[in-house]
């Protein structure tokens, strides 16, 4: 049986106003089956206001895919936590592997963003994950541990209570190759152990999401694992019925 409680849709650079309307209607029609699962939709920045206008039920929340670490000022092209907060954003993805690779986002900048997000009372969804060569070289845990140590550096226990960790093996993102439930659970159990060692009871309560080619047909087996508290969903979150089925499996 699943004990998952949080499912996050990462639309990446996809979608339009028609999709925000379609998705909100499908989620509204299916939400009675989600049974206490919090569903967060992270569209691109330009669709946040539109999506906010369509969220009129409690268990669906708005998320963003990135944020600036700065409060305001001369940072052309950047968006601040306060700007997102004003739109009703509650969750912010940080350190997605695509941003780490394409924007050279460092653990230090992720830590600064996590500090800004949690200080403002929003939830930081901090992504970690190893690539294929690191897994094959048996370096999975050392890579994840270093990402956790550096991306969460300096957060107080109070701030950690506003953190979600998403384990997303890079080799499984958008590839159709999913970590098996046992592979995912093995890493999640180590992340949980690290969180408890460093943040005690607060660490025990940090939700741990798995991401990487989660689909309607594999969600239930992943969500049944003891330390998998939900999912971060990319491609399948753009298809309303499939995304609803994943939320139902949680």
* Residue 214 interacting with ligand PEP (CB under 6 A): yes
Confirm or reject binding of residue 232 to ligand PEP (CB under 6 A): yes
Helices (H), the chain: 17-30, 48-54, 81-86, 97-102, 107-119, 132-136, 140-151, 157-160, 181-205, 219-223, 240-249
| Residue 213 among known ligand-binding residues | yes
Kindly state whether residue 7 participates in binding ligand PEP, applying the rule CB under 6 A.
no
Among 129, 169, 203, 234, which residue sits at the site for ligand PEP (rule: CB under 6 A)?
A: 234
Toward ligand PEP, which CB reaches closer, 203 or 234?
Answer: 234
Using the rule CB under 6 A, is 212 a contact of ligand PEP?
yes
Does 174 show up as a binding residue in the annotation? yes
| Stretch of 40-48, 99-107, 186-194, 212-220 contacting ligand PEP, by CB under 6 A | 212-220
Least distance in angstroms from the C-beta of 192 to ligand PEP? 20
217 annotated to bind ligand: no
Q: What angle do CA 33, 36, 42 make, to 5 degrees?
A: 90
* DSSP states along 138-170: T-HHHHHHHHHHHHTTT--HHHHTTEEEEE--G
To 5 degrees, how large is the angle CA 218–CA 223–CA 228? 130
Q: 37: closest CA among 233, 231, 239? A: 231
Stretch that binds ligand PEP, among 31-39, 70-78, 189-197, 231-239 (CB under 6 A): 231-239
Out of 233, 245, 246, 250, the only residue in the binding site for ligand PEP (CB under 6 A) is 233
Which residues participate in catalysis according to the annotation? 96, 168
Residue 42 touching ligand PEP (CB under 6 A): no
C-alpha closest to that of 35 among 247, 178, 230, 242? 247
Q: Is 173 in the site for ligand PEP (CB under 6 A)?
A: yes
What are the φ and ψ backbone dihedral angles of 126, each rounded to 5 degrees? -95, 120
Q: Are 117 and 164 in contact (CB under 8 A)?
A: no
Choice from 105, 130, 168, 225 touching ligand PEP (CB under 6 A): 168
171 secondary structure, DSSP code: G
| Min dist. Cβ of residue 129 to ligand PEP (A) | 9
Quick check: 83 and 67 in contact, CB under 8 A? no
Residues that bind ligand PEP (CB under 6 A): 10, 168, 173-174, 211-214, 232-236
Residue positions forming the annotated binding site for substrate: 10-12, 174, 213, 234-235
């Amino acid at each position: 049986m699943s004990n998952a409680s949080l499912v996050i849709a990462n639309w990446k650079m996809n979608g339009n106003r028609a999709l925000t309307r379609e998705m909100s209607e499908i989620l509204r029609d299916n939400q009675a089956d989600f049974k206490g699962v919090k569903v967060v939709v992270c569209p691109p920045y330009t669709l946040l206001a539109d999506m906010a206008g369509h969220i009129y039920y409690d268990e669906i929340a708005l998320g963003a895919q990135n944020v600036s670490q700065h409060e305001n000022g001369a940072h052309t092209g950047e968006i601040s936590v306060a700007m997102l907060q004003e739109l009703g954003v509650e969750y912010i993805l940080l350190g997605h592997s695509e941003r780490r690779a394409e924007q050279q986002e460092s653990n230090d900048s992720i830590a600064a963003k996590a500090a800004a997000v949690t200080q403002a009372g929003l939830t930081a969804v901090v992504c970690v994950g190893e690539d294929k060569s690191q897994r094959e070289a048996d370096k999975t845990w050392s890579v994840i541990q270093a990402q956790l140590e550096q991306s969460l550096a300096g957060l107080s226990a109070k701030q950690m209570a506003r953190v979600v960790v998403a384990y997303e093996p890079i080799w499984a993102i958008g590839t159709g190759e999913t970590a098996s439930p046992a592979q995912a659970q093995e890493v999640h159990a180590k992340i949980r152990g690290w969180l408890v060692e460093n943040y005690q009871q607060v660490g025990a309560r940090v939700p741990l999401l798995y991401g990487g080619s989660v689909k309607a047909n594999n969600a239930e087996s992943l969500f049944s694992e003891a330390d998998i508290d939900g999912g971060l969903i990319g491609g399948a979150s753009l298809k309303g019925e499939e995304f609803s089925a994943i939320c139902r499996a949680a």
